[in-house]
Structure 1
Amino acid sequence: MFNVQEELKKLPPKPGVYIMHDERDAIIYVGKAVNLHNRVRSYFRKIVGRGPQIDQMVKQIERFEYIVTDSELEALILENNLIKEHRPKYNTMLKDDKTYPYIKVTVGEPYPRILFARRQVKDKARYFGPYTSSQAVRSTIELLNRMYGLRDCAKVLPRDFGKERPCLNLHMERCCAPCTGEVSEADYRKRVDMALELLSGHYDPIIRDLTEKMTEASEAMEFEKAIRYRDLLASVQQVAQKQKMSENIGENRDILGISVDNSSPDSDGVVQTFFLRDGKLIGREHFYMTHVAGRKKSDILSEFIKQFYGGTPSIPREIILPCEVDDRELLEQWLTAIRGGKVSIKVPVKGQKEKLVELANTNARLVLDKDRERLKREEGRTIGAVKEIRDLLGLPKADRMEAYDISNISGFANVGSMVVYEKGKPKRSDYRKFRIKSVAGPNDYACMK
């Protein structure tokens, strides 16, 4: 039997990761420590003011285990991996586990293409992003292909030269049709280079070029061509106009803001992130953090940084926070190792950066307020409806509801299905299908038994 007090005495004064288990041996918390002996023992002391959530967790600890590491940095990496793998109940968790779109240019091909990608891989291609809007990425790719007549097909060139007739894009003047073999690699590469210039944010030469071509076509009475250049010019100017936010050209940084709802033990927090790449705002996104009740904002931000940047290939040179985090130097060291270049975590006190942080905080607060209103409405539709059913049926509680249905094919192959609702919401992970072999013929009552 696991004796907590005896095991506490065996804890080494070394850095590492500790893992808390409940009575079912489920992992309920993972943490790191510079000194395992001091850190783990602190959970079992009577400490006032550490928060109701931690107190609740300690009551459920049945046993613990630990892994010793050579450094605090190794402990941080191991902790992050274990949290992502086990998703413990009492760890502050990042709800949104999504991938962000990139624009991929296959510069390693003789006739490159511009593609939509969800992740970066080492394949000799150039990637731009990440972006927060998939629609904006697809629109940009369509614009570039239309502007420079680039191919969007899956043909392998030059192997597939002349195997098929050119597609409709050639006749619509949307592609220069390199598949015919009549476009040299050098000429096609010039088109790709111009597209790369636009993706890199160098809009002025492209705007001048389109303006000159539009003027020349108009003077030559080629009005259809002039209209086409005019439309392309308007599209480029629109893209360029969206990228005007920043005072430092060429800087890559993320601006983080945070807002926390402490109204209940199950409340969430929101981290708002502004993504600036090459000095331009490419988008913003908000992320929900669970189990934040009683936690300091600095601790929540630290957990967010570990979970978010540990799973994204695009780490900026600078991360701007609204408040200091306790393990800032350790996080900088870890992020620098992942990025392969120096990463700084800063807290501005004045100037444009401080205003951007305040803007991020305001956006996080607005998201949380809207979400609180949505949850109240949702609670009326879900938990409120369950309470009404419970009262009508005279039940002491109705937290979990299961519904079954039986079906067959012309009286044969009976099957059953089960759907589950918990607290008024569908719990799809518990949905089940059953093959019923003990009942012959269409007999729903016998199948239910």
Structure 2
Amino acid sequence: MADPATYRPAPGSIPTDPGVYRFRDAHGRVIYVGKAKSLRSRLSSYFQDISGLHPRTARMVRTGASVEWTVVSTEVEALQLEYAWIKEFDPRFNVKYRDDKSYPYLAVTMSEEFPRAMVMRGSKRKGTRYFGPYTHAWAIRETLDLLLRVFPVRTCSNGVFRRAQQVGRPCLLGYIDKCSAPCVGRVDPDEHRAIAEELCDFMAGSSDRFVRRLQARMREASAELDFEAAARLRDDIGALTKALEKSAVVLPDGTDADVFALADDELEVAIQVFHVRGGRIRGQRGWVAEKDAETLPEVVAHLLQRVYGEEEVPREVLVPVLPDDPDAMTQWLRTRRGSHADLRVPQRGDKRALMETVERNATQALARHKVARAGDLTARSQALHDVQEALGLDDAPLRIECFDISHIQGQEVVGSMVVFEDGLPRKSEYRRFVVRGDVDGRTDDTAAMHEVLTRRLRHLVSVDEHGGDRPGIDDETGRPRRFAYPPNLVVVDGGAPQVAAAQAVVDRLGIEDVALVGLAKRLEELWLPGEEHPVILPRSSEGLYLLQRVRDEAHRFAITFHRQRRSKAMTVSALDSVPGLGQTRKAALLGRFGSVKRIRAASVEELAEVPGIGPATAARIAAELGAQAPEPAVDPRTGEVLDDAPAPVAGADAGAAAEQVPIPEQEDAR
């Protein structure tokens, strides 16, 4: 830990203008990003008596080794720059103030010719309308299943849609009238788009209008004695009503708002948010985050910045207290939304009643979390202390890296590296390795471990060679170099042979400040380099439990990567035999023709029209695919092979040959 006085800026050197500042550690890594109306006032507060700082802030100041700042002209610019830097550097002392889950949305892809309704997670795409978020994906599917009776928009993937177009038959949903079947031309693109727009209007809050319209049509059908049509409309009304019952009406129709509530103590804050769309609660989320601010207004400012930096801003944002500069925050929200947005504290009426409900949820969530937290913080500290004592380290290993190898009989050998900081996984720094097997020509576990550790640890040597004040930072880009930050402890999955391989790498590279240990699965013993006997930790040891978690995470990460590569290797296509044809060109060919069979039937000129496929490559494709056994012609009605059908010919005559195949007449699907 550094003494803050060693890097405190000289008096008078800090400007009084608004700006954004960054703290860096001894390796040059950005550990904290903040903003201030007055940089001098804010930064000076960090270098006062440390005992008066928040515990998390005090730890950050001791970890830091330098501070730098950038002056901006307005508070809005400071908000934008602060968010950009937090997203770029992911500082360890900046609290995320949002959960790490990806919540599902009901998405309607209005940018496609035939819009599709589906469950979607992750970043939002342009031209797609989103409704939610929902807590569970099954809730979206249940709601969508009810709505498809009234709004039969397509829900199939593009691949299923194209196959249905090719065979001329819809899928099951088309037969049971839960899809308008645009794939076979039952509706044209304009009619299908109108159905999708009605679904979006219904989900956006115009629900009563559709129910009233269906009720009027049901009465008309009943008056005309068309009781079958009236019964169908009655069932449609029931489906809409059931879908509406899943979300309670809490605010006037048409209200779009996010309602936040907080419950905090000295260390953490519980956050709850209700998403109201069209006056109905469409989703609810809650999470607990560490607290890095003294007051709730500061917490609210950080919360809004992190949540709406990655999510859509509604028309109203209701919070328990306003941030310190509500006008700047409101203006920033409006720039993120692209239109008007209100930030306020509800004082009375339905919105205040809803806020109280959200606050009760936050209070209960914090109470539940305290019960679990009481043991968690103590267990993490005890675990690091146990590892330090067992391995004889000078300090607790705050950064642990674990390596594992996965393969089947020497095939598809891969390695994994997982990182734990302060006893918690840091998944953004996980790495995967494809083992090349270039160590003495062997591909066993020890040789693979030797190669993986060499490829990782040699970066520590290259970082040291750069020298300077920030050896881990690229001077041109200002970003960390690859594998710039050294581990305090390296854990390998295995016993004495794997540890010996790791120690050989460390000795060859001349690295002295990295501890090594191996964790063997059989008896869960710890193997240290050069030791004849292992270290045995008690089964109840928190340190052993931490190392097991690290080892198991590395094993999971490695075997997942191995399975991906093994599955990819087992997926063999006829295009794989064409020399010089990579994944991009294969995708372009399949996107143009739809299948290998159609590629085989295409002429050289047609192949050459595909982007990235020149005449020479087109000729190779035609030659390779023509040399392979062609697929037999099949009767589309019975599935029987047509023995008397001539085989398709690759090359320029493929189209003519295909025309000679007798195609039986299709029966009416109805």
Q: Secondary structure at the match of 1:259?
A: strand
Which position in structure 2 is the counterpart of 1:248? 252
Higher deviation after alignment, 414-423 or 204-213: 414-423
CA distance 1:49–1:350, shift in 2 (3 Å): farther
1:315 corresponds, among 313, 316, 322, to 313
Return the match for 1:136 from 136, 139, 143.
139
SS at match of 2:294: coil
Q: Is it true that 1:169 corresponds to 2:167 in the alignment?
A: no
CA contact 1:439–1:446 (8 Å) conserved in 2:
no
2:162–2:183 Cα contact (<8 Å) kept: no
Q: Which amino acid letter does the alignment assign opposite residue 322 of structure 1?
A: P
Map 1:141-220; keep pairs closer than 5 Å: 141-154=144-157, 163-167=166-170, 168-185=172-189, 187-208=191-212, 210=214
Q: What residue identity is the alignment partner of 2:366?
A: L
Q: Comparing 104-113 with 386-395, which one deviates more in the overlay?
A: 386-395
How many residues are aligned here? 437
Give the equivalent residue in structure 2 for 1:295. Answer: 294
Match of 2:345? 347
Shift of 1:372: 2.4
What letter matches 1:437 in structure 2? V
Quick one: distance in 1 between partners of 2:499 and 2:370?
41
Change (3 A) 1:40 1:87: same
Partner of 1:51: 54
Instruction: Supply the AA of the counterpart residue of 1:251.
Output: T
SS, match of residue 140 in structure 1: helix
Which residue pairs with 1:367 in the alignment?
365
Task: Kindly state the Cα deviation for residue 242 of structure 1 after the two structures are TM-superposed.
Answer: 3.4
239, 245, 248: which one aligns with 2:243: 239
CA distance in 2, matches of 1:333, 1:9: 32
Match of 2:576 in 1: none
Distance in 2 (alpha carbons) for counterparts of 1:414 and 1:240:
52
Residue 334 (structure 2) aligns with: 336
CA–CA distance in structure 2, aligned partners of residues 386 and 60 of structure 1: 21
CA deviation map 1:210-263 (0-9, x unaligned)? 55777858976759x94x65554333112222344333322222111101232x
Assess, with a 3 A threshold, how the Cα gap between structure 1 residues 101 and 144 changes in structure 2: closer, same or farther.
same
Partner of 1:257: helix, strand, or coil?
Answer: strand
| C-alpha distance after superposition, 1:182-220 (max 9, x if no partner) | 434555455345433422323334334555777858976
Unaligned runs of 5+ in 2: 447-494, 501-670
SS at match of 1:94: coil
Q: 1:164–1:44: structure 2 CA closer, same or farther, 3 Å change rule?
A: same
Once the two structures are superposed, residues 381-406 of structure 1 have per-residue CA deviations (whole angstroms, 9 ceiling, x without a partner) of x6599599879979799868888878
1:336 is displaced (CA, Å) by 1.4
**Structure 1's 388 and 147: CA in aligned 2 closer, same or farther, altered over 3 A?**
same
Work out whether residues 111 and 188 of structure 1, in 8 Å CA contact, stay in contact via their aligned partners in 2: yes
C-alpha displacement at 1:74, in angstroms?
A: 0.8
Q: Which deviates more, 250-259 or 180-189?
A: 180-189
In structure 1, distance between residues paired with 2:141 and 2:185:
27
Which of 89, 111, 116 is matched with 1:113 structurally? 116
Give the Å deviation of 1:286: 1.3
TM-score, normalisation: structure 1: 0.78
CA distance in 2, matches of 1:106, 1:307: 26
Give the secondary structure class of the aligned counterpart of 1:360: helix
CA gap 1:221/1:65 in 2 versus in 1, 3 angstroms: closer
Structure 1 CA distance, aligned partners of 2:340 and 2:208? 31
Could you say what secondary structure the match of 1:31 adopts? strand
Q: For structure 1, which segment, 298-307 or 167-176, has the greater mean C-alpha deviation from structure 2 after superposition?
A: 167-176
Counterpart Cα distance in 2 of 1:152 and 1:102: 14
Identity of aligned residues (%): 30
2:461 aligns with none
How far 1:130 moved relative to its partner? 4.2
Match of 2:126 in 1: 122
Which of 413, 437, 440 does residue 439 from structure 2 map onto?
437
Query: Is residue 73 of structure 1 aligned with residue 73 of structure 2?
Result: no
Query: Is residue 291–residue 299 contact of structure 2 (8 Å, CA) maintained in 1?
Result: no
Report how far residue 342 of structure 1 moved. 2.6
**Stretch moving more, 371-380 or 131-140:** 371-380
Q: Distance in 1 between matches of 2:321 and 2:439?
A: 62
Partner of 2:271: 271
Counterpart Cα distance in 1 of 2:71 and 2:142: 50
Inter-partner Cα distance in structure 1 for 2:92 and 2:409: 46
Give the C-alpha shift of residue 360 in structure 1.
1.6
Instruction: Tell me, yes or no, if the aligned pair for 1:255 and 1:275 is still in contact at 8 Å.
Output: yes
Report the 3-state secondary structure (helix = DSSP H, G, I; strand = E; otherwise coil) of the residue aligned with 1:276: strand
- Taking the aligned partners of 1:384 and 1:61, their CA distance within structure 2 comes to 21
Distance 1:240 1:417, change over 3 A: closer
2:37 corresponds to 1:34: yes
How far apart, CA to CA, are the structure 1 residues paired with 2:136 and 2:410?
50
Greater Cα offset, 73-82 or 423-432 = 423-432
Q: Shift of the alpha carbon at 1:369?
A: 1.6
Question: Shift of residue 412 of structure 1?
Answer: 10
* Contact 1:103–1:117, Cα closer than 8 Å, also in 2: yes
Work out whether residues 383 and 424 of structure 1, in 8 Å CA contact, stay in contact via their aligned partners in 2: yes
Structure with more of its chain in strand, by fraction: 1
Task: Say if 1:310 and 1:197 are closer, same or farther in 2 by CA, change over 3 A.
Answer: closer
* Structure 1 residue 298: Cα displacement: 1.6
1:298 alignment partner AA: P
Higher relative contact order (CA 8 A, sep 6+): 1
Q: Is the 8 A contact 2:418 2:431 kept in 1?
A: yes
Q: Is the 8 A contact 1:91 1:291 kept in 2?
A: no
Shift of 1:373: 2.3
Residues 170/339 of structure 1: CA separation in 2 closer, same or farther (3 Å cut): closer
Greater shift after overlay, 371-380 or 393-402? 393-402
Q: In structure 2, do the counterparts of structure 1 residues 72 and 371 end up closer, same or farther at CA, with 3 Å as the change threshold? A: same
Cα-to-partner distance string for 1:96-149 (whole Å, 9 max, x where unaligned): 2444444333445554332333343333x5443444443333333333334333
Instruction: Quote the Cα distance in structure 2 between the aligned partners of 1:38 and 1:186.
Output: 61
Greater mean deviation of Cα atoms: 281-290 or 383-392: 383-392
Q: Indicate the larger mover: 13-22 or 398-407.
A: 398-407
- Alpha-carbon distance change, 6 to 448 in structure 1, aligned in 2, over 3 angstroms: closer
**Higher deviation after alignment, 435-444 or 337-346:** 435-444
Please say if residues 270 and 367 of structure 1, whose CA atoms lie closer than 8 Å, have aligned partners that are also in contact.
yes
Letter in 1 for 2:315: R
> Aligned in 2, Cα 1:106/1:289: closer, same or farther, shift over 3 Å?
same
SS in 2 for 1:147: coil
* Correspondent of 2:107 among 104, 109, 129: 104
- Separation of aligned partners in 1, 2:179 and 2:201: 19
Residue 80 of structure 1 deviates from its aligned partner by: 1.5
Paired position in structure 2 for 1:281:
281
Q: Distance in 1 between matches of 2:163 and 2:91?
A: 52
The AA in structure 1 aligned to 2:96 is: M
Query: Secondary structure of the residue that 1:237 maps to in structure 2?
Result: helix
Deviates more, 1:400-409 or 1:89-98: 400-409
Give TM-score, length-normalised by structure 2. Answer: 0.55
Matched with 1:357 is 355
Displacement of 1:328 in angstroms is 1.1
- Counterpart amino acid of residue 272 in structure 2: Q
Structure possessing the higher radius of gyration over alpha carbons: 2
